[in-house]
Amino acid sequence: MRNLLVLIMLLSLILAGGATASAETLTMEEGANIDLQVTDGANPTLTISSTATDENVKVSADDTTAGFLNGKLVGGAGITLTEGNGGANETLTIAAPETLTTKGDVLVHDGTSETRLAVGASGQFLTSDTSGNLLWANPAEGDQLFNSNVLLNAYRTAGNVSPPQVLKMINGSVDAFNSETGVDATASTNEDYDSNGEKYKNLNPIGGNEDIVNQVGLRFQGIGDQIGVEYRVAQSFTTGTSISLSQVDLQFFENFGSPVGNVTVRIETDSSNRPSGTLVDPGATKAITVVPGTFSVGNVNSWVFSGGINLSASTQYWIVTAMANQAVDTGWIIGADRVTGPIVGGYNISNDGGVTWPSGNLETDLYFKVHATEVITENMTLVSNSQTAKTEPNGANIILMAEDVAADIVINTDLKASVSRDGGTTFTQVTLSDAGEFEKGNLLTGTVDISGQPTGTDMEWKVETLNNKLLNLHGVGLEWR
């Protein structure tokens, strides 16, 4: 068939003048891909054939080797070539896999190849990190300082709520621990609620006795009013281990004048080897009616501190006695050791109602005894009850009113806070920072992204202490969006 077509084309060229002819001869010349074969004899023949190969293709004019289409086309990375209808009307399909499979997906290059970035959560926006990677992120949590101040003011309000309860806000809540209603007692461990101090602290099992005592008693020092001046007496002592002080004993001889009212004992911190005027704990003050002894025989009186007062190891503290608002030259005589030097730490005398104390202790001790037990600090986990958010939150801001009792807590290591939006099944840790001091300790704040948690609207916070560090937690505020 092809030869016939070539012949027809050749004859057409002859008719068009492509060959020369006379009455006797016909002159024909071979062209590209045309072969002329003459056979001599009685019946000579002329065979015209074509050498063209119309099944093959070349990429360009200077391609040295023709070939079939399925051999000349080469698929690149991720590209496939597929023959169809083999042996018939064949086809060649060129295909690339679909990288994007879900509505909202984004095609990105990760530095090596193109890849799929799945659509982000509702409300997230597309941004990049410092390495040039694209990612979905939550909107900024807003002004953290503003949010923390709102929670702090709410904490002060919550402390006066009646009846005591968690203070609920729009997209948030604050628990000032004026009751135990906001804490999940089942999920929490080793927590000890102090209703007097309105705080939670680590549970401290009782250890061995750590009594600090000096029992040499002689009639010596007076408290109350002397020549129109209020005298106070303070005894220092230093702890060996962390202790929980439960009782202080002092020896009283007879009174001078006619004193009225109670005698107060305060446990104060130390300031340059003198009483600081600061209680070690809001509950570290107790007033009782003294039962006196006689001129020569003292009587021991006891001040009992219910629940115990936690004192740090290797720290100096002061027992401060006070009896204010007495008539001139009215008060009590306290027992002291006037013979030997100080066994424990010595005592000090203030003649202006405890406003100032002279430097240096007297070389003697009061008759006193501190009843205490060794503190074994447990690691505490405190978990809140759930608060229901109106819509599913993606982020949260938390504030802790935390008192580092021994001043040895490393935040985010010894003290951690976490937030959950699925009712406490999944928690995400907050990176806390110290925002400054408040009345009872330090304000610790932080924000956290919770968009990766399972869906939910049941908001909870969790506070944990680790490495047996002692914490007084006075309140927690949580705000979400």
Question: Is the model more confident about 288 or about 143?
Answer: 288
CA dist list (Å): 94 to 58, 76, 98, 169, 410: 19, 10, 13, 61, 62
DSSP β-ladder status, 368-375 and 243-256: antiparallel
Q: Identify the band that residue 2 occupies on the pLDDT scale cut at 50, 70 and 90.
A: very low
Region 240-255: mean pLDDT is 87
pLDDT tens figures, 83-139? 888 889 888 888 877 777 788 888 888 888 888 888 877 667 788 888 888 888 766
Choose from 153-157, 160-164, 184-188 the range with maximum mean pLDDT.
Answer: 184-188
How many Cα neighbours within 13 Å face the side chain of 405? 25
pLDDT in the model for residue 415: 97
The percentage of residues in the chain with a pLDDT greater than 90, rounded to a whole number, is: 30
pLDDT tens figures, 303-321? 999 878 988 888 999 999 9
Region 172-198: mean pLDDT is 90
Q: Is the pTM of the predicted complex or chain greater than 0.75?
A: no
19 pLDDT more than 50: no
Q: Which two tokens stand for residue 343?
A: 């066994």
Lowest model confidence (mean pLDDT) among 334-343, 347-356, 428-437: 334-343
Q: What are phi and psi of 144, to 5 degrees?
A: -60, -40
Of 46, 6, 8, 40, nearest in space to 27 by CA: 46
Say how many Å lie between the first and final Cα of the chain, rounded.
81
Cα separation, 178 vs 189, whole angstroms: 19
Cα separation, 198 vs 175, whole angstroms: 10
Q: Identify the band that residue 63 occupies on the pLDDT scale cut at 50, 70 and 90.
A: confident
Query: Does the bond joining 342 to the residue before it have cis omega, within 30 degrees of 0?
Result: no
- Cβ proximity of 469 and 409 under 8 Å: yes
Q: Can you list the domains of the chain with their CATH numbers?
A: 2-50 (no CATH), 67-83+92-137 (no CATH), 144-203+378-480 (2.60.120), 208-375 (2.60.120)
Region 420-436: mean pLDDT is 94
pLDDT tens figures, 388-404? 999 999 999 999 999 99
- Cβ proximity of 247 and 306 under 8 Å: no
Question: Is the model more confident about 193 or about 40?
Answer: 193
pLDDT in the model for residue 122: 66
